[in-house]
């Protein structure tokens, strides 16, 4: 079945550091790919998405590119802030199927 693998962390960075959270997937066909963020005590919120190969999703300084050849959707940000501390989930949805989530990566950004 479809699956998502991501680094579990925790990831601890200093403010203004560069962030990469790796995400790879296994799916039949061409799924849509998503990154969701969960701030402490809250539900998940969509951060960005991409629906086809080579699409780049971006939001709030975060970016991820749909790489079909490597089945990856790595999340990057050039300069993290303390307010970016959260849990980040990579997810996919194949056509006609339900969402499949990765285990989540906890990010802590220190001032």
Partner 1 sequence: EAQVTQNPRYLITVTGKKLTVTCSQNMNHEYMSWYRQDPGLGLRQIYYSMNVEVTDKGDVPEGYKVSRKEKRNFPLILESPSPNQTSLYFCASRTSGRADTQYFGPGTRLTVL
Segment near partner 1 (CB under 8 A); pick from 20-28, 43-51, 59-67, 68-76: 43-51
Q: Rule CB under 8 A: is residue 9 a binding residue for partner 1?
A: no
Gap between the Cα atoms of 5 and 16, Å rounded = 26
Among 73, 84, 104, 109, binds partner 1 (CB under 8 A): 104
Among 32, 66, 73, 86, binds partner 1 (CB under 8 A): 32
Q: Are 35 and 57 in contact (CB under 8 A)?
A: yes
Among 60, 68, 103, 110, binds partner 1 (CB under 8 A): 103
Q: Rule CB under 8 A: is residue 98 a binding residue for partner 1?
A: yes
Q: Contact positions toward partner 1, by CB under 8 A?
A: 4, 8, 32, 34, 36, 41-46, 49, 51, 89, 93, 95, 98-99, 101-104
């Amino acid at each position: 079945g479809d699956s998502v693998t991501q680094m579990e962390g925790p990831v601890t960075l200093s403010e203004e550091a560069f962030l990469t959270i790796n995400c790879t997937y296994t799916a039949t066909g061409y799924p849509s790919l998503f990154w969701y963020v969960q701030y402490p005590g809250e539900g998940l919120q969509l951060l960005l998405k991409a629906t086809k190969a080579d699409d780049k999703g971006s939001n709030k300084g975060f970016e991820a590119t749909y790489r079909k050849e490597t089945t990856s959707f790595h999340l990057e940000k050039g300069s993290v802030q303390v307010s970016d501390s959260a849990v980040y989930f990579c997810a996919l949805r194949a056509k006609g199927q339900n969402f499949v989530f990765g285990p989540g990566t906890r990010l802590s950004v220190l001032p």
